[in-house]
Structure 1
Amino acid sequence: MTMEATLEGVRERLYLKVKGQIVERIEQLRPGVLIPPERDLAVAYETSRTTVRKAVAELVTEGRLVRRQGSGTYVAEPKLAWPLSVSDFNGHAEAETEGLRTCTILLGTERIAAGEELADRLGMRPGAEILSMQLLRSVNDAPMALECVHVVGRRYCGLEAEIAASEFVYEVLRKRISDRVARAVETIETVPAAPSQAALLGTEIGTPMLLVTQHGHTAQGEPVEWVQTWYRGDRYSFVAHITKPQAHAGRHLMPT
């Protein structure tokens, strides 16, 4: 082993030790408490500010800490375990059964001409009318996610007025749209928060977000919806219950 590799190993062990010490500290603090500045932590743990900065940055990425521009670094709220389902409006209802207060606010709607990608996803010809809805979703009064729902416009005449007249936006969307969804393809990826998203969700520009896209279909394979949802990466973890498929009854291997 070279001297350079040995030094790198020492630095890595020191960094992990400091990170562990910071984790022990924040586990004893309430969410929302301001932690000491990096220079004070470096003195307390007898290490460099570079090591502390790396540990704090990683804890921010993991959602244990949250930075507020011009204010400091705080202990983050615990992450919410959000169930994955064929429609996230159903997941919204499941969250309420866990005692969480959920709220969906309609930010805006527009009817647009379908480009090639959306037309293909919704089984339409390019140029046909698409109804696009932008939603802000909150849990326990804290903004958590931005959602954009795309559906075939001609199927949902008057939906905007129905949503505007209701106090329970997600109930209307569930009954009118997501109850038709029997199966869906869902993808999850990480993206940085854009300025508009950061402003609405109360987070920093560039903060890791979880972008969840869902393409819902009826049991007969007809496209129903194309949904994009940006979740705060520091507040969410997704949970899926997976069952191992059972072997088909009566199926045996036969000698050849």
Structure 2
Amino acid sequence: MAVQERIAGLGPGASLPPERRLAAELGTSRTTLRKALAELTAEGVLSSTQGSGNYVAPSKPVLMRQLTSFSDDLQAMGMTVETTLLSAEQAAADAETAAHLGIDVGASVHVLTRLRIVGGEPLALETAHLPGDLPGLAARVDESGSLYATLREDFGITITDVEDCVQTALASPEHATHLQVPTSAPLLLIDRVSRDSDGRIVEWTRSYYRGDRVRFVARGRL
């Protein structure tokens, strides 16, 4: 596709010429060009701002969702991860939380909501639910930036098994505000349940990832 070849020579954030000019340069109709631009926007190659034009989107980070944390995954790819702790509380488990954690409704759980920022842009909004006595958890996670590292180094809890349930979702007004996307923009929703070596459930985390910046990769061996 000619437009893809044109984009290949541009860096993230670069703007494309106006449609009329670009269509003339590529020797194609504006109708065909618009269809190609729409497809590339849906794939996350381009981002479009009404009244401003089309821009080359940042490269999609590939998340290696195995036994590592978000921080470990991105740092392994040479990316800088910033974390903002939006809220931290101890709350009584509702029915959904209790079912995910295998505990009684009403049991006390730690609830941490964090915004994960990569390359200066928000990438994920995560809410982690953890059962048990974990004094000072929020402060330690806020300091280290990694939940798994905090569990391992401060509480002697090592994650050895995870189960991810992946589906798509549309951004609510709250998601849109935090992730800087339009309301109803496509998101990747991942529910993760983690266990330690004894099979005990350590966490249930619900994460919303920006659909224009994330590619999910699962690996296995047959």
Deviation at residue 238 of structure 1 after TM alignment: 2.6
1:210 paired with 2:188, answer: yes
Instruction: Give 1:192's aligned amino acid.
Output: L
Q: Which residues of structure 1 form unaligned runs of 5+?
A: 1-19, 245-256
- 2:54 paired residue among 73, 87, 93: 73
- TM-score of the pair, normalised by structure 1: 0.76
Instruction: Give 2:65's aligned amino acid.
Output: L
CA distance in 2, matches of 1:39, 1:65: 18
CA distance in 2, matches of 1:96, 1:77: 17
- In the TM superposition, what whole-angstrom CA distance separates every residue of 1:163-201 from its partner, at most 9, and x where no partner exists? 45x2x2214255457943221211222222222222222
Deviation at residue 119 of structure 1 after TM alignment: 0.8
Q: Which has the higher helix share?
A: 1
Give 3-state SS (helix, strand or coil) of 1:180's partner. coil
Say if 1:69 and 1:204, in contact at 8 Å, map to a contact too.
no
1:219 paired with 2:197, answer: yes
Say if 1:108 and 1:135, in contact at 8 Å, map to a contact too.
yes
Say if 2:19 and 2:30, in contact at 8 Å, map to a contact too.
no
Say if 1:209 and 1:233, in contact at 8 Å, map to a contact too.
yes
- In the TM superposition, what whole-angstrom CA distance separates every residue of 1:22-47 from its partner, at most 9, and x where no partner exists? 21211121211111333444455432
Q: Which residues of structure 2 form unaligned runs of 5+?
A: none
1:29 paired with 2:7, answer: no
Deviation at residue 121 of structure 1 after TM alignment: 1.5
Find runs of 4+ consecutive structure 1 residues off by over 6 angstroms: none
- TM-score of the pair, normalised by structure 2: 0.86
Say if 2:71 and 2:145, in contact at 8 Å, map to a contact too.
no
Instruction: Give 1:116's aligned amino acid.
Output: A
- 2:174 paired residue among 152, 172, 196: 196
| Partner residue in 1 for 2:215 | 237
| Partner residue in 1 for 2:45 | 64
Instruction: Give 2:74's aligned amino acid.
Output: A
- In the TM superposition, what whole-angstrom CA distance separates every residue of 1:37-93 from its partner, at most 9, and x where no partner exists? 3344445543243x4333222211111001234422201111112211134x2x422
